[in-house]
Structure 1
Amino acid sequence: MARTKKVTITLPAELLESMKTHTDNVSGYLTELAERAERRRLLREELDAYQGEFGAFTDQEMAEAQALLHGTEGMRHAA
């Protein structure tokens, strides 16, 4: 099991009440959100480093990535 550390945070009351309407585990909910944010941050760093070395992604590369991420059918291929 992962090591944990107890912290205190302050949230707007309305936000906390909204979270409680769909989870009984606010701590777990916030942990999941923080983990997702951290993965996005790390991915952004990797993508920025890649583009710094190899240049900006082309329109075709972006379309292919969108298709892989979102299952887009009928993706156009460059000739």
Structure 2
Amino acid sequence: MSGDQVEELRELADNASGYGAEAVARRIRHRLLGDDLRRYQEEHGSFSGEELAEARSRISGTAPVSEGTGAV
């Protein structure tokens, strides 16, 4: 990274090492979730279009959460 980029990062993040650590942690969580989803589909089959649509709605916050769905 150039000096200007590092300075900009410091201004944006106020703590460049903390920002970097959070970015790494986010990528690790993303990879682990992907691994879990692949493993689930290997055991139970592919997700249906309806399941994927419901998951996308929940992730985006547009779906109502009903009791008994396991949502936290």
Q: Same fold (TM over 0.5)?
A: yes
1:26 to 16, 25, 28: 16
CA shift for structure 1 position 15: 4.1
Q: Does 1:35 align with 2:51?
A: no
RMSD: 1.7
Q: Which has the higher contact order (CA 8 A, sep 6+)?
A: 1
Where in structure 1 do 4 or more consecutive aligned residues deviate above 2 Å?
A: 14-18
Q: Which runs of 5+ in 2 are unaligned?
A: 65-72
Alpha-carbon distance in structure 2 between the residues aligned to 1:57 and 1:50: 9
Aligned residues: 63
Q: Which runs of 5+ in 1 are unaligned?
A: 1-11, 75-79
- CA displacement, residues 17-56 of structure 1 (integer Å, 9 cap, x when unaligned): 4312302210000000111110001000000000111111
In terms of fraction of residues, the more helix-rich structure is 2
